[in-house]
Structure 1
Amino acid sequence: MSQDTPPEEKLPSEQTHGPLARGEEDPFADPGLPPHLPRIQDIDERAAKRSERTVALLFVISMLATIAFIASYVAFPIDKIVYIFPFGHVSILNFALGITLGIALFCIGAGAVHWARTLMSDREVPDDRHAIESPPEVRAKVMQDFSEGVAESGFGRRKLIRNTLFGAMALVPLSGVMLLRDLGPLPEKKLRATMWAKGKQLINMNTKQPLRPEDVAVGSLTFAMPDGLKETDEDFQEQIAKAALMIVRIQPDEIKDKRELDWSHQGIVAYSKICTHVGCPISLYEQQTHHVLCPCHQSTFDLSDGAKVIFGPAGHPLPQLRIGVNGQGNLEALGDFDQPVGPAFWERG
């Protein structure tokens, strides 16, 4: 075609390049729904009963697994480690909770899927699009379709499935209720008590030897732990996080708080090393002012005045440990800390 050809003659011919040439079929035409084929459960009531029992069995297994979840939470200690092939060494509590909760949720899902695939109606019904605001007759049709779906599902007629489903769905939420226990401290003394007790000797963290009064010089800072606690212990980190102690010797006439003086020995005072803000270990001591500083957020405590907070975000003083000297001349605790160690919590008195 030459360049002088008029533009209208360059357009494609309707007869040869239209949407469909004469005699051709539309490749995008709606093929319609395939013919409906009944399932074995639709024509054989015995097969339907077998499917019903299968679904009910899955729901019952879910119920038992939920009960096992709760029993595992109560029975297994959190620090019990066992070897399970092929997972290796795992916490028996975490393993039991994961397995039982997984089985409970899986069986509910599997039961619902099997119920839908074998017993509920599988007939496909096309429905044309309609306006967003449905007219009353459409809303009435939806409610009618819903009622028919409920009737076809056999929810009202198949009581065994219905009752076991209710049982499984009622028990599964108890798994979450049990886990709520971990959102806060249990009603025990885990946050209030440490390893310190009357007669526990103060062990130097560096030398691992019992501390004697003459070992603590005026102006020095010494860290101690309870006698009987070893770094090789499985729970060492957990225990030292609560029982870590700092020892400072102050001239008795410079101690302002009377109770602090009564709880000391010849000016040797013992306080928790754990900051009462977020639990950082305190390690900075100013000899002239008797102030200790937390390196995390600069909370400052006055060890000559009951370890009161004089600066920073900490909410309350450091807990003090009452100390004395035993028959061997070693420093010993005369009880536990006077207050729970570390950051404040809502149950704190």
Structure 2
Amino acid sequence: MSAEGQSAPAEQHEVAVYDRGAAVVQADAFENPGLPPHRPRQTDLHPVKERRAERQVVWWFLLSMVGSVLAIIAYVAVPIESGDMGTVRFNNLFLGLGIALALLGVGFGGMHWARQLMSSHEVVEERHLSRGSEKTRARAVEIFQLGDEESGFSRRSLIRNTLIGAIALVPLPAVVLFRDLAPAQDAVEAISNTMWKAGSRLALDPTGTPIRATDVTIGSAFHVIPEELKDLGHDEGYLDQKALASVLLVRVPLDRLNEQPARAGWSYDGIVAYSKICTHVGCPVALYEQQTHHLLCPCHQSTFDVTNHAKVIFGPAKRPLPQLPITVDDEGFLIAQSDFTEPIGPSFFERLGHVDPEHVPLSAAELETRA
């Protein structure tokens, strides 16, 4: 057969083989189309509209400042009367409106500034390894300067100053609100004394039933309040007093109880009482391990050894639980010898020295550690 009669041989392609492991090679990658052409805004083309947008941003920031001031005024000026939920609703309404204006003013002002006045040119920033070289730091300074130039932060002094004023005033309502949550009296004095006093009977929480020493068995745990607390109304500070005076009562074998000589009389026949308020952040220490005689705080796992004056053996707490001195009366009911000898609750620097040295004869080093 002639060469003309023969079919043309199939076109052959060379296939390059690369050892890329498990990597997938994309052979049909498309070309980067680039960025679309820049479309100028009205504020870029017309100076009048630019100035109008600038005034709008300023008005938003001024509105934010007015909202912050109104929130503070509403919180102070709108009274809340006990038992009248209408006054509570009015206070919350005006307070919420003021805070909403403060936050929305800053948000809308910043958004309008960015969309209408800052540079709108699209840019692409290629990924690169972050390095701490001098060149990188110099480039960072250059970027900040470029951002300042494009945003006009230094050049547009009116916007800048109103923004600073709005941001400075926005946190003030929160400062006023949270500060008012603190007690009017000294913080240490507010937790230095509880309802416990000499002769107060230990009672079950929440029934207020007095507890006899014979009712407390080894391995049991009782949630305890002063007997007088059951007669206190909720409008008379019942919850506040309960938060201060809550106690956990347990009984351990006498041979396991390791007491300091100065505190030998603080327990009764192996029965000990400790504040239920954790010395870390004030959570209720309510989990008792019968076999190890450990108290566990469920919030952050601080663990206290009941057999050794509630000493911290694990967790973030830095101070043992305050111990309530107890004994029994003539009828066999458990009673308190006195109030706690130190402030209950979380440790903080102001409590240094707020330990009764006459009732707790500890060394100076131990006093500072417990404080």
C-alpha distance in 1 between matches for 2:208 and 2:145? 81
Following superposition, the deviation at residue 239 of structure 1 comes to: 2.8
Query: How many angstroms apart in 1 are the aligned matches of 2:56 and 2:188?
Result: 44
Kept in 1, the 8 Å contact 2:202–2:336? The answer is: yes
Question: Residue in 1 aligned with 2:285?
Answer: 280
Write the distance in 2 (CA, Å) between the matches of 1:320 and 1:42.
78
- 2-side partners of 1:9 and 1:217: how far apart? 101
Distance 2:332 2:201 in 1: 10
State how 1:159-238 maps to structure 2 within 5 Å: 159-172=157-170, 187-189=187-189, 192-197=192-197, 200-205=200-205, 208-211=208-211, 215-217=212-214, 220=217, 223=222, 224-230=224-230
Specify the alignment match of 2:325 in structure 1: 321
Shift of 1:164: 1.0
Number of residues of Structure 1 aligned to a counterpart in Structure 2: 295
Q: CA RMSD in A?
A: 6.3
Tell me the distance in 1 between the aligned counterparts of 2:145 and 2:287: 71
Does residue 5 (structure 1) correspond to residue 2 (structure 2)? The answer is no
Letter in 1 for 2:164: F
Gaps of 5+ in 1: 11-26, 287-291
Q: Which amino acid aligns with 2:339?
A: D
Query: 2:56 corresponds to which letter in structure 1?
Result: T
The answer (yes or no) to whether the contact 1:229–1:236 under 8 Å persists in 2 is no
- Whole-angstrom distance in 2 between the partners of 1:81 and 1:243: 27
Give the match's secondary structure for 1:320. coil
Q: Deviations over 1:185-225 (max 9, x none)?
A: 994456544442456443244873334xxx32397467331
- What are the residue-to-residue correspondences of 1:30-69 with 2, within 5 Å? 33=37, 36=40, 38-39=42-43, 43=46, 45=48, 50-67=52-69
Task: Write the distance in 2 (CA, Å) between the matches of 1:178 and 1:170.
Answer: 14
The equivalent of 2:106 in structure 1 is: 108
- The SS at the match of 1:7 is coil
Q: How far apart, in 1, do the equivalents of 2:161 and 2:274 lie?
A: 57
Q: TM-score, normalised by structure 1?
A: 0.52
Contact 1:274–1:282 (8 Å) recurs in 2: no
SS in 2 for 1:319: coil
1:72–1:4: structure 2 CA closer, same or farther, 3 Å change rule? farther
Structure number with bigger Rg: 1
Structure 1 distance, partners of 2:51, 2:175, is: 35
CA distance in 2, matches of 1:68, 1:329: 60
Instruction: Find the aligned partners of 2:258 and 2:191 in 1 and give their Cα distance.
Output: 29
Question: In the alignment, is the contact (CA less than 8 A) between 1:196 and 1:243 conserved in 2?
Answer: no
Higher helix proportion? 2
Q: Which runs of 5+ in 2 are unaligned?
A: 14-30, 130-134, 297-301, 352-370
Task: Tell me what 1:24 maps to.
Answer: none
CA contact (8 A) 1:59 1:164 kept: yes
Query: Deviation of residue 103 (structure 1)?
Result: 4.4
Residues in 1 aligned to 2:77 and 2:201: alpha-carbon distance in whole angstroms: 35
| Shift of residue 63, structure 1, vs aligned partner | 2.4
CA contact (8 A) 1:272 1:318 kept: yes
CA distance in 2 between counterparts of 1:121 and 1:285 reads 68
TM-score under structure 2 length normalisation: 0.50
Residue number in structure 2 paired with 1:246 = 249
SS of 2:105's equivalent in the other structure is helix
